[in-house]
Amino acid sequence: MKAPRVTLEQWRTLQAVVDHGGFAQAAEALHRSQSSISYTVARMQEQLGIPLLEIEGRKAVLTEAGAALLRRSRQLVNQASQLEMLASEMDQGWEAEVRLVVDAAYPTDRLASALRAFMPQSRGCRVQLREEVLSGVEERLQDGTADLAISGLSIAGYLPQQLNAVQFVAVAHPDHPLHQLQRTLTHDDLATHLQVVIRDSGERQPRDSGWLGAEQRWTVASLGTAARLVARGLGFAWLPEHEITQYLNSQQLKPLPLEQGAQRSAYLFLYANKERPVGPATRILADLIIEHSMTEH
């Protein structure tokens, strides 16, 4: 790609001529001589090969091409200013990126609210979001690839910030044989039916979670897959209530009438990478996650 012939400073000069109403006014605003401003604009037109301004009476007016190019140049100059500001903020400790790892059971609505609130405060900081299950979150925190992590596990050596609980509900399709019993169910009733469980995404020491007393289990990779299978009549599962609201409302899933354990609350916790200081952007995002975890959606 060829290097640009016109510099950002030249575009700034043209903007000043237009915005301040003339060469003399632009010279005063930019603390330069009028001849310097005139030369800069003339040189731009020569380099681009098209007229940008034309004289009408005593006033320089943009040509049609000049107006179109000026609009685009404002975006370039603004982006360059933002880039310089980001570099300055990074020099002062502001992060270019925050790596956030979240357990798949954490409600997406709460997370989205926190991220939406973070955007206007981010100053160009990117968020790299990764979803894991159970010990997968712990491993990302321990191997240093997460700045912040949301997990339902107690992770040794880290100080947790408790977030709001997630409600898990035992469900099956309304036509499932367990519902046909039409009575309160025991764990013995469940033992002879297929249970759908979510695979731990960790590799070092994957864990099982929840009741696993069924003789037959199918293990799937995501909560969404588990919900769809159970909604089609394939087994039963404990699933986060926020994940299956649509299925419950449409009566594709129905809570199982268990005498014990029909619902369970699981608290999730926010952890920070302890191997490096928490930067300002990471701290702002962490505070917003905590704030928005306390709001029900």
pLDDT (tens digit per residue) in 208-220: 677 677 889 999 9
Domain membership flag for residue 2: no
pLDDT at 69: 87
| Residues 231, 291 within the same domain | yes
pLDDT at 1: 56
- Which residue, of 69, 91, 113, is where some domain finishes? 91
pLDDT at 102: 96
Cβ atoms of 167 and 263 closer than 8 Å = yes
| Residues 125, 26 within the same domain | no
pLDDT tens for the 297 residues of the chain, in order: 566 788 888 888 888 888 888 888 888 888 899 888 889 888 888 888 888 888 777 777 888 888 888 888 888 888 777 677 656 555 556 788 999 999 999 999 999 999 999 999 988 889 999 999 989 999 999 998 999 999 999 998 999 999 989 999 999 999 999 999 999 999 899 999 999 999 988 887 777 677 677 889 999 989 999 999 999 999 999 999 999 999 999 999 999 999 998 999 999 999 999 888 888 899 999 999 999 987 654
pTM metric for this prediction: 0.67
| Residues 69, 104 within the same domain | no
pLDDT at 56: 77
Expressed as residue numbers, the domain containing 36 is 8-91
pLDDT at 190: 92
| CATH, residue 282 | 3.40.190.290
pLDDT at 248: 95
Distance CA(88)–CA(84), nearest Å, equals 6
| Residues 67, 136 within the same domain | no
| Residues 282, 158 within the same domain | yes
- Which residue, of 91, 115, 141, is where some domain finishes? 91
Q: Give the count of domains, the chain.
A: 2
> Amino acid identity, residue 261?
G
pLDDT at 92: 59
pLDDT at 6: 82
pLDDT at 195: 94
User: What is the average pLDDT value for the chain, to the nearest integer?
Assistant: 88
